Amino acid sequence: MRLKLTTLVLLLPIMATAQNFSNLDFEQAKQIASKEKKIILVDVTSQRMMGQEKINSEKQLAANAEVAGFCSKNLISVRMDMGSEAGKSFAPLLQMNMYPAYAFMMPNGDLLEIIHPSRVYTNPGLFLEKANSALSKANSKWSNSRSILFQDISFEEALKLSKSSGKPIFIDAYTDNCQPCIRMVKDVFSVDRVADYYNENFICLSMNLGTVHTNLAEKYGTNAYPTYLFINADEKLIYSASGYTEADEFISYGKSALNKSSIQFEKGTWKDIVSKAKRENKPIFLDCYTTWCGPCKQMNNTVFTRPEVAEYFNSNFVNAKFDMEKGEGLKLKEMFGINAFPTYVYIDVNEVVVNKIVGSMPAEEFLSKSREGMSENGLSAMQKRYSSGERDESFILQYLRTLEMANMIKDAQKVADGLFKSTDLNNFKSKEYFKYFLSYMEDPDSEIFKYVYKNRSNFYNIYPQDVVDRKLRSIWENGANRYVQGSGDNATIDKEGFKKYIKRMKEEGVEDYQSIEEKANIFNAIQTRNWKSLLSMIDTKIKKTGLANMSETEMLAWGMQIDRLCTDKKIRSHAAGWFEKFIPLFEAKQARRKAEAEKNGVMLAMSMIDYQKELNRVYKSLSNN
């Protein structure tokens, strides 16, 4: 409905051109204000209030040069008779404010500021304060182009999305005819920095909890509007606030909610992170991830979002996360020795590693290990104790667990080697000690290996027999590969030592020791670059075993070594011939396995290596010489 203006003219600049506006209605005033990018000043009044005293007071205010200049430049000024039909239609725009009033409005009718006329008649400064505030708000609205994006999904769907994305839910809870609710939509949700913050960090819903979704109002104790609910994927209320709120304070609500809902990671360079850690005198928690790492995403979405985890890390650390495969992540990966994902590094302000944890785990375990790692039982503290000479076995066992948790295998190997030399052999009859034997023992000449091999049947009740036997065989194989001295073209074989080792395996009754000897001979040929001997041995093995029965793992490993180390075209061409025949056989075997699995309704185990792709790659490279 077009709103008719009863009379025009307010303030000096308007009075000077009264004829131009005397017949405007409110819609026309809005159009002019929009076109000229001005705001509207409405004298909200009535006929009975329009006495001579009011007119004289307005003339006195308009006589102020600063007021006159501001109005001429920035305002379209009109009167509204609230006793008219137009006034009745205009009333909702006042948002329940009383009249008489001076209302500063946007060209679309949004209320910016409002004040009683009597307060400004003799106080031009107060008028200008309100007018400038209104203009500032208008400029902010004009400069903003984005708004909070409320998703058109159910609460249940939002919970699922929250669980998969790791983002908490923000609900703008409103009710019918709620003027502060409407103001939030018009004045706050449409501010760019508000929109950007909420759209980035939350799954946003706008829901009528007053009359429609009353079950949620009851569940979360909502009885005033607007109310802002922040809820995690477990349906727990993590933060709430209510009432009309300006933009910066409203953003602070979101920050408070995020602090309680998830670990908050800083944005910026590594230098920025370290600087903040020094300013706040806090250690750094570094999440080392990759985009393809499933466990990384699982931790981010299900563990980092637990309130107790968020509270601990947000209170005690400066938190940072970097993709280890791009940007600064590449440097940090090398700097902190990252070789598995996810890896979590705890670093002091001097960039010294205090603790390190590798892998995904439940929230309780992650929190426990993190707290322990920052104590005297953390990695850094234990490294110092070990370096100072502490060798108590209970400490050594705990240190090994800490090194394993940090995936520091070389360090763990060194510590385990010391344990193997110092501890009572009978200790390895316990599962904890024998676990380290399985993980780190590589030396067939060590006393502990000889003891375990001789008494291996006694260890079958600690670990399954196949696990024990497989480890023992691995150690025998490792020993057979120790007889090459030097490297490359200068490498030589200790033939006498190798011969004695083979004899020892035979005398010790090592099952099928001949295959260990065969593998070692192939290894020795590669290490000494004896390519003709290598081809002869592999040809013999293929003839004996049958190409279709050859292991794709061995074929790929041999082919990769020849491709990397051998430049002899005849050798490379000969090796390419193996792959030319082997690849179709391998593909046919894989097709049969897949068909059989589908027939039986089972899923084939995933391989870390795409053998079909890698076999073809090596074949192509060898063929090109």
d(CA 420, CA 428): 9
Side chain identity at 495, as an amino acid letter?
A: K
Side chain identity at 415, as an amino acid letter?
A: V
DSSP category for residue 93: G
Find out whether 468 and 457 touch, Cβ atoms under 8 Å: no
d(CA 326, CA 289): 11
d(CA 447, CA 421): 8
Report the alpha-carbon angle 64-70-71, nearest 5: 90
Q: How many helices (H) and strands (E) does the chain have?
A: 29, 14
- Cis bond leading into 226, ω under 30°? yes
d(CA 195, CA 251): 9
The rounded radius of gyration (Å) of the Cα atoms in the chain is 39
- Could you tell me whether strands 492-493 and 227-231 are parallel, antiparallel, or unpaired per DSSP bridges? unpaired
d(CA 305, CA 323): 19
Per-residue tokens: 94: 């006042």
Residues forming the active site: 293, 296
Instruction: Calculate the alpha carbon distances from 245 to 186, 188, 467, 528, 623 in Å.
Output: 12, 8, 65, 77, 71
Q: What is the DSSP string of 272-319?
A: HHHHHHHHHT--EEEEEE-TT-HHHHHIIIIITTSHHHHHHHHHH-EE
Find out whether 187 and 110 touch, Cβ atoms under 8 Å: yes
Task: Please name the residues in contact with 70: beta carbons below 8 A apart, sequence gap of 6 or more.
Answer: 128, 131, 132
Find out whether 345 and 378 touch, Cβ atoms under 8 Å: no
d(CA 26, CA 32): 10
d(CA 258, CA 416): 43
Find out whether 333 and 324 touch, Cβ atoms under 8 Å: yes
d(CA 76, CA 105): 10
Per-residue tokens: 65: 């040069």
Cα–Cα nearest to 102, from 120, 86, 89, 84: 120
Cα 599 versus chain centre, distance = 40
